[in-house]
């Protein structure tokens, strides 16, 4: 092992150690250590003129464009307006209302972003809990698990899927077709599961009438902005669906949508700069460099060679990626896990393995994301909001106790689904 390889391996281990156990500045440290690898020229291909081949600018551009669009939708009051409308529509049938809200959560996370969905929907859940004098914990746990399931249904709904999409080359439509049905199945089962944990008694029914006093129109701060933002958002989603037909990258579509909204609303980039999650973007950039370093020093190939022994057992090569995602995503965080194992699967597919290994990993990873607070950024955001609301600590063990059964149920359904897909495809 060369000195450069040893130093690179140490930096990678330190980086992932901080991602798992660190509490603050993960994005800064991850990107900083990645720059150290590049600056010291420990591996090839990280020169400034080549960096765009390592960092997936299509993914980062897509995220940035969607953040701009979401910023305008959120500023206009659209999300709160729509949620109040749904609550009023449900009336005294509380669990029906809650189911409708979870449909909103699933759709929002599928076509926007997991973190944005939690930021928008968590305050609505707390508002409902306060009005109905309910415990907010089960409402937030339900919202979070549905957020991760809904985001797992599309290419753009989850950063985990974005990374897998960029490595595998699968399209927006591929993700919806393969992952959408699994998410729908799990959604229906988990709504039944949570029904026994969210008790609706006579006092709650009587308190529901208070919701009639809310005027959803007051939630809208700018009607013109809302209408234009919604029109642009829908146009962007339609273009996402047909992007392979028109030959335009997803990042260009999302960024142009954001540009249109900035121009129509006569705003500059400074208006939305504080709404863009810069930590997420630099975290991703750093992880792409770290992943490239792992691949360059041969770790990725070594892992792939270890799995080549299972080439004759296609069934095992569905179960193994499924198990890897279920184990490592809740520990490492979903994006680092995707960047570690994605290149491995790309090598295996190049050797003739079924592309079904991508979907086995994707389904398991998306469903396992909810298991621990470490699984994704939105998990941490939800806990932060919850602790602020309930005025006490909501620790790791308490979180896992709430999530262990929903995640187990999701994974069982996901495994049966992927085995069914495999049987049909044979």
CA–CA separation, 40 and 34 (whole Å): 10
CA–CA separation, 204 and 9 (whole Å): 56
Q: What is the mean pLDDT of the chain?
A: 86
Tell how far CA 398 is from the center of its chain. 22
Please report which confidence band the pLDDT of residue 177 belongs to, taking 50, 70 and 90 as the band edges: very high
SS3 199: coil
Angle between the N-to-C axes of helices 223-241 and 172-195, in degrees from 0 to 180, rounded to the nearest 10: 120
pLDDT for res 426: 66
Residue with tokens 């994005």: 27
CA–CA separation, 298 and 300 (whole Å): 6
Number of neighbouring beta carbons within 10 Å of residue 283: 24
SS3 194: helix
pLDDT for res 291: 81
CA distances from 421 to 63, 164, 179, 417 (A): 30, 19, 11, 6
Closest to 152 measured CA to CA, from 375, 405, 425:
375
The answer, yes or no, to whether residue 263 has pLDDT greater than 90, is yes
CA–CA separation, 178 and 359 (whole Å): 7
Residues 6+ apart with CB under 8 A from 206: none
Q: Which two tokens stand for residue 187?
A: 């959604």
The answer, yes or no, to whether residue 70 has pLDDT greater than 70, is yes
Prediction pTM value: 0.76
- What b-and-e string marks burial along 71-102, b requiring 16 or more CB atoms within 10 Å of the CB? bbbbbbbbbbbbbbbbbeebeeebeebbbbbb
Work out the average pLDDT over 398-410: 95
Q: Which two tokens stand for residue 392?
A: 């006490």
Residue pLDDT, tens place only, 186-232: 999 999 999 888 877 777 777 777 667 777 888 889 999 999 999 99
Work out the average pLDDT over 381-405: 87
């Amino acid at each position: 092992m060369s000195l450069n390889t040893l130093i690179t391996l140490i930096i990678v281990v330190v980086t992932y150690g901080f991602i798992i156990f660190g509490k603050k500045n993960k994005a800064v440290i991850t990107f900083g250590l990645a720059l150290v690898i590049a600056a010291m020229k420990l591996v090839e291909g990280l020169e400034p003129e080549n960096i765009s081949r390592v960092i997936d600018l299509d993914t980062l551009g897509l995220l940035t464009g969607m953040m701009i669009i979401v910023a305008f939708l959120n500023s206009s009051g659209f999300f709160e307006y729509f949620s109040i409308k749904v609550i009023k529509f449900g009336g005294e049938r509380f669990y029906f209302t809650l189911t409708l809200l979870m449909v909103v959560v699933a759709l929002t996370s599928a076509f926007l972003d997991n973190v944005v969905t939690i930021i928008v929907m968590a305050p609505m859940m707390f508002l409902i809990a306060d009005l109905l004098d309910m415990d907010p914990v089960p409402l937030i746990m339900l919202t979070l698990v549905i957020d991760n399931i809904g985001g797992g249904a599309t290419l753009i709904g989850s950063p985990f899927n974005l990374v897998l999409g960029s490595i595998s080359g699968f399209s927006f439509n591929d993700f919806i077709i393969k992952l959408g049905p699994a998410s729908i199945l799990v959604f229906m089962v988990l709504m039944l599961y949570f029904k026994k944990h969210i008790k609706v008694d006579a006092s709650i029914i009587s308190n529901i009438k208070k919701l009639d006093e809310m005027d959803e129109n007051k939630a809208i701060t700018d009607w013109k902005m809302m209408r234009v933002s919604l029109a642009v958002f829908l146009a962007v989603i339609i273009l996402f669906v047909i992007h392979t037909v028109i030959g335009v990258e997803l990042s260009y579509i999302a960024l142009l949508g954001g540009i249109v909204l900035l121009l129509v609303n006569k705003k500059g980039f400074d208006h939305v700069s504080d709404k863009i999650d810069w930590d997420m973007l630099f975290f991703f950039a750093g992880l792409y460099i770290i992943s490239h370093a792992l691949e360059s020093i041969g770790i990725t190939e070594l892992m792939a060679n270890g799995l080549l022994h299972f080439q004759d057992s296609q069934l095992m090569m569905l179960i193994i990626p499924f198990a890897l995602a279920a184990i490592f995503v809740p520990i490492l965080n979903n994006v680092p896990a995707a960047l570690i194992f994605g290149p491995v699967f790309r090598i295996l597919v190049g050797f003739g393995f079924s592309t079904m290994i991508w979907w086995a990993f994707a389904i398991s990873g998306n469903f396992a994301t909810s298991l621990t607070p470490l699984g994704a950024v939105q998990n941490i955001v939800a806990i932060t909001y919850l602790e602020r609301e309930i005025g006490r600590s909501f620790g790791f063990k308490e979180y896992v106790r709430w999530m262990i059964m929903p995640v187990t149920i999701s994974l069982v359904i996901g495994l049966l689904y992927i085995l069914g897909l495999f049987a049909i495809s044979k």
